[in-house]
């Protein structure tokens, strides 16, 4: 009911909607409308109420709430169950807990803030309150566990397309899980799974996206950016989340029904590593060569000076100048 | 303290040990000895007490308790934390929960009974009270997730060796996770992991071993057996658990420090699939051919009539006659 009310008010932003009109649309009493308006105000929505005119949703800062997201994903066939939190350690950690409680495929964990966001290899990822997107998608595909890294690539394509649609900004994909704007990191994807030797039991795709951050710390300012810094305006996080879920839905269904070969060219179209001379650093060694592509499992292929091709499963990639 | 007392009584089985002797060995009062004896009796130990003689542990049915196991693994460098339960749904499920609570490597979950034991591909595995071993080992190796199936093979070698040492019985290994005696299944291994695209975060090796079952249901009697049925005597489950953990410890350390190539020949020595004409059935297809070996990742290699070699990641194997 609350999410329908948010949707109705948003569709009429800039105009007053009478309590009577709303009560008819929502099929409830005018007293109930008043109660829902007050509940939304407690969540932080600024709703003006004027006698004989009705209610109006005012422009406000980028508020994220379960209802704001639900009102935008109601038609999504896969992702319409949102587990929303004001603040969590990390949305992937919450997703692991939900999986142990046996949740179904398609649950999306969203938090306004992460206090211990996770990056690759135990690194930290900052998701400050009221400005970033921290979300984790739970899926249970019937796939061999060796295919899990492909889903990171599916998610990278989904985020790249959604950001383009909502903001007009072009993201660059850097294997395996970084999304950049002009070389600065704007999004990271952390895919985690529970699996046995036969198949994936469940998979968590964590997406951390810098949306409305205006400032980064001195040590990050040359490495990271946000959509707001690059696009010079504030973006609606709920709209971005819904767009990411929408793009992911059709890409995932294409991937499951037709295979990774249908996703690979979409990924390659935005990728900036392939064809370049790169350094691949892992905990155990460093390899230099030309990134000649990815294989069918999403593994990076690196050709060294002796023309030997190495399969890179896990590494940090930097560019040779 | 209780586990030390069990150990002391077991070492002197057939003899009386005076309360005074025990109190000196355990460095506690004779009243404390009496209290611990009573606590052990509540766990089901039959301990005879005679004035002026002392205490004696009587022969009893195969009782499994935390202390019975702890007294036998106290010198194990890796596995000395036992999480013991009388009855659980499945030890792997408990292990998943413990991992989410951030337990350290080396915890072993043991249960006297599983009410919803898990096999491969969502199948059931029966672990009836007072007769079977149901245990799950928690490890956190720094390995690529593609190496996880190798740990199933390490565990298969460990169980095979431990059973031989304790019972004298020879097990046969059938790829990927079955241990058989004369073609009948006596043990299953279910390896589950939590991982990201870069590495394994934690791995659970679930081992279900039929020890003292005397009867199997009509539908299982031709397919399954127990150590008791094959060896014609009751075996001590705590002794078997400790032996499995001891064998696993050195095999695992060899695997981590020297690599899978040191484990592979030990596995192949007990394996019955390689060299045979087999049918490999998976959900999506059926392949027939000669099982010519496993590769470095533990994947089965099947050569068909056209001499093409197929990599079998997941399948049920049966033998062609």
The confidence band for B119, taking pLDDT boundaries of 50, 70 and 90, is confident
Annotated binding site of A for biotin: 90-92, 114, 185
Cβ–Cβ gap B313/A146 under 8 Å: yes
Whether residue B12 is annotated as binding a ligand: the answer is no
**What does the alpha-carbon distance between residue A80 and residue B122 come to, in Å, rounded to a whole number?**
27
Q: Which of B94, B152, B196 should one mutate to test binding to chain A, selecting the residue with the greatest count of A CBs within 10 A?
A: B196
Tokens, residue B222: 């031709």
Q: Is the pLDDT of residue B61 over 60?
A: no
The encoded tokens of residue B118 equal 């898990």
CATH superfamily of A66-270: Bira Bifunctional Protein; Domain 2 (3.30.930.10)
Is A146 close to B142, i.e. CB distance below 8 A?
no
Q: Name the least confident of A121-125, A132-136, A299-303, B293-297.
A: A121-125
Q: Are A119 and A230 in contact (CB under 8 A)?
A: no
Question: Which residues pair with residue B280 across a beta bridge?
Answer: B287, B317
Query: Residue B204's closest chain A neighbor by CA?
Result: A196
B264 min Cα distance to partner chain A (Å): 17
What is the ipTM, given to two decimal places? 0.76
Q: Where are the domains of chain B?
A: 2-57, 66-270, 277-319
What's the pLDDT at A314? 87
pLDDT tops 60 at residue B48 = yes
Q: Which chain B residue has its CA at the smallest distance from A96's CA?
A: B100
Instruction: Judge whether residue B121 has pLDDT over 80.
Output: no
Predicted local distance difference test score (pLDDT) of residue B9? 85
Decide if B177 and A197 are in contact by the 8 Å CB cutoff. Answer: yes
> pLDDT value at position B244?
98
| C-alpha distance from residue B250 to each of A68, B79, B109, B157, B310 (Å) | 55, 11, 19, 11, 33
Instruction: Decide if pLDDT at A61 tops 60.
Output: no
SS3 content of chain A, % helix, strand, coil (to 5): 35, 30, 35
| Mean pLDDT computed over every residue of chain A | 91
**Which CATH number describes the domain made up of A2-57?**
1.10.10.10
| Per-residue pLDDT at A114 exceeds 90 | yes
**Which CATH number is associated with domain A277-319?**
2.30.30.100
Contacts of A192 in chain B (CB under 8 A): 194-196, 201
pLDDT in tens, B147-161: 999 999 999 999 999
How close does chain A come to B97, measured CA to CA in Å? 7
pLDDT over 60 at A317, yes or no: yes
The helix/strand/coil state of A285 is: coil
Using CB atoms and an 8 Å cut-off, which of residues 71-130 of chain A contact chain B?
96-97, 100, 120-121
Tell me the per-residue pLDDT of A239-261, one tens digit each, with 9 for 90 and over: 999 999 999 999 999 999 999 99
Average pLDDT over residues B114-134: 88
Q: Can you give the pLDDT at residue A212? A: 92
Chain B residues 226-285 with a CB less than 8 Å from chain A: 283
Question: In sequence order, which ranges of B139-294 are alpha helices (DSSP H)?
Answer: 148-167, 227-231, 237-258, 264-270
- The better pLDDT of the pair B65, B160 is held by B160
Query: B93 in helix, strand or coil?
Result: helix
> Do the chains contact at B120 and A313, CB–CB below 8 Å?
no
Separation in Å, CA of B139 to nearest CA in chain A: 14
Query: Looking at residues A28-40, what average pLDDT do you find?
Result: 90
A199 touching chain B per CB within 8 A: yes
**Residues 6 or more apart in contact with residue A284 via CB below 8 angstroms:** none
- The tens digit of pLDDT for each residue in B200-228 reads 999 999 999 999 998 898 988 999 999 99
| Residue contacts between A and B (CB atoms, under 8 Å) | 76
Q: What band does A42 get if pLDDT is binned at 50, 70 and 90?
A: confident
Which has the closest alpha carbon to A210: A298, A306, A131? A131
| A197 closest CB neighbour out of B100, B142, B191 | B191
Biggest alpha carbon distance in chain B? 80
Instruction: Say which range, A28-32, A68-72, A92-96, B282-286, has the weakest mean pLDDT.
Output: B282-286
Check whether B92 is labelled as a binding-site residue: yes
């Amino acid at each position: 009911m609350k999410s329908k009310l948010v949707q109705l008010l948003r569709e009429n932003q800039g105009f007053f909607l009478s309590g009577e009109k709303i009560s008819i649309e929502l099929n409830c009493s005018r007293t109930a409308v008043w109660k829902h308006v007050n509940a939304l105000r407690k969540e932080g929505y600024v709703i003006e109420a004027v006698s004989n005119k009705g209610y109006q949703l005012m422009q406000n800062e980028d508020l994220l709430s379960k209802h704001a997201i639900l009102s935008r994903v109601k038609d999504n066939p896969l992702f319409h169950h949102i587990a929303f939190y004001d603040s969590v350690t990390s949305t992937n950690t919450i997703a692991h807990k939900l999986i142990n409680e046996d949740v179904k495929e398609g649950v999306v964990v969203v938090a306004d803030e992460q206090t211990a966001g996770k990056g690759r290899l135990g690194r930290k990822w900052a998701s400050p309150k009221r400005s970033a997107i921290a979300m984790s998608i739970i899926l249970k595909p019937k796939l061999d566990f060796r295919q899990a890294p492909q889903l990171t690539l599916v998610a990278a394509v989904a985020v790249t397309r959604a950001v383009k649609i909502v903001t007009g900004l072009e993201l660059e994909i850097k294997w395996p899980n970084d999304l950049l704007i002009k070389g600065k990191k704007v999004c990271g994807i952390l895919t985690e799974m529970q699996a046995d030797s036969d198949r994936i039991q469940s998979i968590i795709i964590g997406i951390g996206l810098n949306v409305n951050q205006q400032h980064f710390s001195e040590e990050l300012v040359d490495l990271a950016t946000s959509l707001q810094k690059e696009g010079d305006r504030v973006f609606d996080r709920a709209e971005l989340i819904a767009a990411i879920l929408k793009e992911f839905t059709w890409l995932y269904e294409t991937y499951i029904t037709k295979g990774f070969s249908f996703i690979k060219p979409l990924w390659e179209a935005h990728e900036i590593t392939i064809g370049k001379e790169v350094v691949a650093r892992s905990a155990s060694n460093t390899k230099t060569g030309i990134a000649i592509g990815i294989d069918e499992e999403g593994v990076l292929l690196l050709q060294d000076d002796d023309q030997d091709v190495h399969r890179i499963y896990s590494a940090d990639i930097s560019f040779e100048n």
